[in-house]
Structure 1
Amino acid sequence: MVSTPDAADVSQAGRKAGRGARDAAHSTPVRVAARAGIAANGVLHLLIGWLAVQIALGSGGQADQSGALGAIAAEPAGRVFLWVLVVGFAAVVLWRTVSAVWGFHYVGDSTKRTVKRVVAGGQAVVYAVLAVTAATTAVSGRASSGGGGRATAGLLGLPGGQVLTALVGLGVLVGGGVMAWNGYRKKFTEDQDLGGADSRLRRINARTGQAGYIAKGIAIGVLGILLGVAALTFDPQRANGLDSALKTLREQPYGVFLLVAVGVGIACYGVFCFLDARYHRVD
């Protein structure tokens, strides 16, 4: 007669699996790799900021993560460096996934803790996409393009796709606004342990974080508006990711100056990531 596990056995196995995942995510190698992944995100944002400024000044290029990864791949030993980024991004995915389930015990308010866990889950998805994009670029040696347009086209092709796209656009617009507001209020410091930082580093951390979050919030907000326009016109190419958002900024009155300012702000976010890699709580 074959015995079947009872509920207690299943529960105990689940707890063991959970402890194993937490231990793995909080191990020294993963902590180090996660910090390296945050720093790698800084490299990408420095490149995106530089590409945005180049576009503002009239050069071509793709000012988004794919464009930045393609710029890395074009350099000597760039494809090797991309695989290093893949490892770092994958470590961040593990860390953020575990944080989304069990993390942020240092936050006393249960509602804030829940919000932070939801955000951590979103960050796990973002870094997973970065890891896949970096790996794809490392294999092919060149950046992909048009991914945002294809994703929007897929969404528009669903039943009720225009409404869904408009709702996603509204969510992205709100998300961009929240990011800019959180940057202005320096909310990002809540997840940092700055006890060992001197006053000069604290100021640099605060200023680059503020500029970076506000600049990214503006770019994301523009992308949300473009998704709304894509829904109204049924034209997915109106919302071809961050690159479209930045190029739309350039087309506005005084757009060159606006895009340069946003590009510099995104580069500031890259500098902030280097500091965040050192001071972000990874417990």
Structure 2
Amino acid sequence: MSGVPDTSDVSRAADAAGSSAKQAARSKPVRVMARVGIASNGLLHLLIAFLAARIALGSGGQADQNGALGAIAAEPAGRVLLGVLVVGFAAVVLWRVVSAIWGFPYISDDRKRIAKRVSSGGQAVIYAALAVTAATTAVQGRSSGGGGGQATAGLLGLPGGQILVALVGLGVVIGGGVMIYQGYTEAFTEDQDLGGVDRRARRLNERTGQVGYIAKGVAIIVLGLLIGTAAITFDPQQANGMDSALKTLREQPYGVFLLLAVALGIACYGVFCFFDARYHRVV
């Protein structure tokens, strides 16, 4: 015997593993928890909107996911709620990974289906980061904060770091622009099953999604510009996450009103997530 595994055996094992993962991600418990994870993201955005409004009105605080998770941890039974969020986010990760490989069979256009799968892979990364951050906050009882600046500093320290950071900033700006486009065109409804939905609920779903996507896209574009500024000035603290982006809006002419408008939009995105948790095609 050569000791080299038969390629057909390896292929069958890979197919079996893939089939098992696919079945697990499409099982009822995972689908239910994936919806919990989507709704949990809505709760986070409502808290971020509240913290952003406080900053607009002159109060302190950290208006990003770390700040929102820290606010949850500070409440009685907050760690229990964080534990639920971790499980929900982990379920979304499993579902999104499977969707990135086999998902969106209801889309006939090949290029559009591939784009959706790539986007689903990106969502898996985002929710994995949320799960890790929520778990860390639950263990420590508080949020760590400062992750954006630390990551930027790490990139700036690499050979060609300024170029890398500038490219990241450009990618973030493009991502924000895509969100604004998706909000304007209501493209987010493509992944929802709205058949038989009450007209009033459908309208609320569409309007909160539209306003929410556009407002979040604006905040993401500001974040991307800050990352680009960090590359030019070689100062990683210029790009310290969404909190820096929202506080930068506060410093602009009429910044109080601008930040309050963005906070309202982010709150709309949070409400939309609750609709999305109900109507999203989790298949």
Match of 1:78 in 2: 78
The alignment's TM-score, normalised by the length of structure 1, stands at: 0.99
Q: Which runs of 4+ in 1 moved over 3 A?
A: 1-4
1:267 has 2:270 as partner: no
Q: Between 240-249 and 5-14, report the one with greater CA deviation.
A: 5-14
The CA deviation at 1:196 is 3.0
5+ residue gaps, structure 1, are none
Output one character per residue of 1:224-280: Cα deviation in whole Å (capped at 9) or x when no partner. 000110000000000000000000000001110000000010011000000000000
**In structure 1, how many angstroms separate the alpha carbons of the residues matched to 2:252 and 2:138?**
35
What letter is aligned with 2:12? Q
1:145 has 2:140 as partner: no
Q: How does 1:37-186 map to 2 (within 5 A)?
A: 37-186=37-186
* Residues matched between the structures, number: 283
Give 3-state SS (helix, strand or coil) of 1:89's partner.
helix
Output one character per residue of 1:176-229: Cα deviation in whole Å (capped at 9) or x when no partner. 011011111100000000113100000000000001100100000000000110
- Sequence identity of aligned pairs in percent? 75
1:254 has 2:254 as partner: yes
Match of 1:220 in 2: 220
Output one character per residue of 1:86-117: Cα deviation in whole Å (capped at 9) or x when no partner. 00000000000010011111110000000000
Match of 1:5 in 2: 5
Q: Between 1-10 and 112-121, report the one with greater CA deviation.
A: 1-10
**In structure 2, how many angstroms separate the alpha carbons of the residues matched to 1:13 and 1:22?**
14
Q: Between 7-16 and 257-266, report the one with greater CA deviation.
A: 7-16
The alignment yields a C-alpha RMSD, in angstroms, of: 0.8
**In structure 1, how many angstroms separate the alpha carbons of the residues matched to 2:143 and 2:54?**
18
1:188 has 2:188 as partner: yes
Distance 1:258 1:16, change over 3 A: same
**In structure 2, how many angstroms separate the alpha carbons of the residues matched to 1:5 and 1:250?**
62
Give 3-state SS (helix, strand or coil) of 1:35's partner.
helix
**In structure 2, how many angstroms separate the alpha carbons of the residues matched to 1:162 and 1:206?**
40
The CA deviation at 1:4 is 3.9
The CA deviation at 1:8 is 1.2
The CA deviation at 1:6 is 1.3
The alignment's TM-score, normalised by the length of structure 2, stands at: 0.99
1:22 has 2:22 as partner: yes
The CA deviation at 1:3 is 5.2
The CA deviation at 1:5 is 2.7
What letter is aligned with 2:174? V
Give 3-state SS (helix, strand or coil) of 1:94's partner.
helix
1:197 has 2:194 as partner: no
**In structure 2, how many angstroms separate the alpha carbons of the residues matched to 1:27 and 1:105?**
17
Output one character per residue of 1:69-98: Cα deviation in whole Å (capped at 9) or x when no partner. 000001110111000100000000000001
5+ residue gaps, structure 2, are none
